[in-house]
Amino acid sequence: MQSRRIGEVQVSAIGLGGMPMSIEGRPDEERSVSTIHAALDAGITLFDTADAYHIHADEVGHNESLIARALASYGGDTSDVLIATKGGHLRPGDGSWTVDGSAAYVKKACDASLERLGVEAIGLYQFHRPDPAVPYAESVGAIRDLLDAGKIRMAGISNADPAQIVEANEILGGRLVSVQNQFSPAFLSSTAELELCDQLGIAFLPWSPLGGIGRAGGLGGGFAEVAERYGVSPQRVCLAWHVSKSPVVIPIPGASRPATIQDSAAASSFELTASDLALLP
């Protein structure tokens, strides 16, 4: 497994997104735990989660708790694992997604995540999504306060535009280490954010890097052509394409089956040639 950097921490070049294991259509816990263990066996050390990855209103933090239990039951060393979680997005339990970027809520959410993860400080805490009703400076200011208080070791943001990336980095005193935005062959509108992160040396974590839940199998065109050339999956080619974009890119594909994350992990060492890349976006 190749490694990349978030802040001063080295992590696997491919992470695991935990959302499919906790929202609608999720598998039973045994399969989810097996998936997390398979990721660890494959050398994955970055696990992305959020308190909003759940279904019912009475199970906030379902995915955080699941990952914590899976890590605790793993037989090997997990000391180099970085858990990245998020706060500021909510699921009332009726299938909808809402936001609360108030400083009070963000700090309360962080405290709850700390308890669920069972850690003294969260490795990477990210403001999940801007709240139109709250000044961005207030939301990111809460993240700064958590960083200063030692409740989180590193700070990131998600679903941000270039201006918000610059503003967040200023508020955090140059300590912004990651930006997590949607980015995939079917969703290239975060290209400007990726390029800005590359310039600033900030990790860029594409969410839904394969196109989203249920759409990963639809990778065709150049991805299918390159995959056939090497006898690998189009999904592996897609993740290798992500990694080739910049040294700051660390895709976090979601998975809920061991075989899926094993295939994704293999993309870390799959190098695309110039002729391969000419066929891709």
Tell me the per-residue pLDDT of 104-161, one tens digit each, with 9 for 90 and over.
999 999 999 999 999 999 999 999 999 999 999 999 999 999 999 999 999 999 999 9
pTM of the full structure: 0.94
% of the chain at pLDDT higher than 70: 98
Predicted pLDDT at 212: 74
Contact (CB, 8 A) for 264 and 235: yes
Predicted pLDDT at 235: 95
Which residues are marked as active site? 53
